[in-house]
């Protein structure tokens, strides 16, 4: 029951937090996550918990309020506009966060210890396989987009090329 309550609290939080809502919508597009969700929903314990929750006054009241809102064209349109706006803001926040992560990673590459560790990783035969797996992760797209944006900056591009050349020379 605690997992279900945590999940519902997360959904409620997503209605107030644009980045969380955007991440939730991305997660809904992830086939692996959806397969896990289906397994969870097929679990008899989960179904029992859902039935118990569905019988609570709070759930019934929330369901009625949602139905009433969706039946009112003005309220439904306002909610749709709010969600669209939240998705745009949330996607921008996720993109900025990914950009910040890439900036931090980029800055760390100037550290000789980090570079030495990176070279060890690149030489590891399992590393390429791990990279290929990571590339399949839908969340990785945000980081790839952030990297593309960084490469539009001539100075960042020059620095990245210098780091790449340094790594090639040391490998």
Are residues 28 and 34 in contact, defined by beta-carbon separation less than 8 angstroms?
yes
Percent of the chain with pLDDT over 70: 94
* Predicted model pTM: 0.55
Are residues 102 and 147 in contact, defined by beta-carbon separation less than 8 angstroms?
yes
Tell me, what's the pLDDT at 42? 94
Q: Domain boundaries in the chain?
A: 2-72, 93-170
DSSP annotation of 139 reads T
Residue 171's pLDDT band (cuts 50, 70, 90): low
pLDDT digits (tens, 9 = 90+) for 23-59: 888 888 888 889 998 999 999 999 998 899 889 999 8
pLDDT digits (tens, 9 = 90+) for 107-160: 787 788 888 888 888 888 888 888 888 877 777 777 777 778 777 888 878 877
Are residues 167 and 125 in contact, defined by beta-carbon separation less than 8 angstroms?
no
* Residues 93, 19, 30, 2, CA torsion sign: positive
Query: Tokens 């040391």 map to which residue?
Result: 170
pLDDT digits (tens, 9 = 90+) for 51-107: 998 899 998 998 899 899 889 999 889 988 988 999 889 888 888 887 777 778 777
- Flag whether pLDDT at 1 surpasses 60: no
């Amino acid at each position: 029951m605690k997992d279900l309550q945590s999940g519902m609290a997360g959904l409620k939080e997503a209605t107030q937090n644009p980045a969380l809502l955007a991440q939730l919508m991305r997660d809904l597009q992830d086939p692996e996550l959806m397969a896990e969700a289906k397994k969870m929903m097929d679990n008899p314990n989960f179904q029992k918990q859902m039935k118990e929750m569905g019988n609570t006054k709070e759930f019934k009241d929330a369901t009625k309020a949602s139905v009433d809102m969706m039946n009112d064209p003005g309220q439904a349109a306002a909610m749709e506009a709010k969600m669209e706006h939240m998705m745009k803001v949330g996607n921008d926040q996720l993109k900025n966060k990914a950009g910040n992560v890439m900036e931090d990673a980029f800055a760390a590459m100037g550290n000789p210890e980090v570079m030495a560790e990176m070279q060890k990783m690149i030489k590891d035969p399992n590393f390429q396989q791990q990279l290929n797996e990571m590339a399949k992760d839908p969340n990785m797209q945000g980081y790839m987009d952030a990297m593309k944006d960084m490469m539009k900056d001539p100075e960042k591009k020059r620095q990245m090329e210098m780091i790449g050349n340094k790594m090639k020379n040391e490998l």
